[in-house]
Amino acid sequence: MTRRARLRLLPYLLVFPGAAWLLLFFGVPLAQLAAASLYDPSGSLTTGYAMTWAFGNYPDVVQAYWPQFLRSFGYAGSALVVALLLGYPLAYAIAVKAGRWRNLLLVCVVAPMFTSFLVRTLAWKTVLSDNGALVGVLRDVHLLAPEGRLLATPFAVVLGLTYTFLPFLVLPLYASLERLDPRLLEAAGDLYASPVRAFRRVTLPLSMPGLVAGTLLFFIPASGDYINAELLGTPNEYMIGNVVDSAFLVRLDYPQGAVLSVLLMAAILAVVYGYLRTVGREEVR
């Protein structure tokens, strides 16, 4: 083999370990999951499942669980909006205004991730409890009715999602904003741009890579989350992740659990594709 041929093969050899890993631990399980979604729904773990190509499993599941699908994306979208309102100013302040406090603030952003996800969610359950100090204060200032509550409500689930996945939004935004050249903002000011206009025409476009990455890193896991709805909500707030968990681990209905998983992945891919197409058109403009 000539040296030129080896150089041509080098990129493929570098990609091969990662591609093999993805094929073995993602592609193969995904194919098995898709196959399981077409099993005979009348089977069981005891009697076994027959491959009957039961495509009717899909419309049956959609008809039965479409409210949970809509609720999942509604909660994830609401949490994303709240996270953007909190996370963008926070990332901007850390990247541009923090100075020597930058590293400390970054540690504060990621510090909650050093604790178990379950422990953090249980802590919010205590904070939002009916007998907690927060609810008591809100009742005293009449922001909450005497019998009102925060726990076991959609508000609690959205709050939990926002808190849990906020670092995944802040860190990519910080990475983009930290590379922002302040001379560009000075030039915008010299051209008589107001702070709002400078933000819209300079800061926001330059931070778009981090914004897109952060919103995807936030929205995708939030859509499939089930711990927050399980611990901070009631069955009325259950998301599609709770249904998947119940299908696989409680009802042992593997075909239904597989269908739910495939549909969730397909729905998330469709949302992500539409979002990226929309963002791409806006950047072209």
- Binned at pLDDT 50, 70 and 90, residue 184 comes out as confident
Nearest-angstrom CA–CA distance, 114 and 174: 20
Question: What are residue 51's phi and psi, to 5 degrees?
Answer: -80, 105
pLDDT of residue 281 exceeding 70? no
By the 8 A CB rule, do 48 and 249 touch? no
DSSP readout, 125-170?
Answer: HHHTSTTSHHHHHHHHTTSS-TT--STTSHHHHHHHHHHHHHHHHH
Tens digits of residue pLDDT in 116-157: 889 999 999 999 998 888 898 998 898 888 888 899 899 999
By the 8 A CB rule, do 129 and 47 touch? no
pTM of the model: 0.88
Nearest-angstrom CA–CA distance, 196 and 208: 16
Least Cα distance to 242 among 255, 258, 256, 229 occurs for 229
Report the pLDDT value the prediction gives residue 285, as an integer from 0 to 100. Answer: 56
Nearest-angstrom CA–CA distance, 255 and 172: 37
- Binned at pLDDT 50, 70 and 90, residue 239 comes out as very high
Note the helical H segments in 199-253.
Answer: 204-206, 208-224, 227-232, 240-249
Amino acid at 217: L
Tens digits of residue pLDDT in 18-63: 999 999 998 999 999 999 999 998 888 888 888 889 999 999 999 9
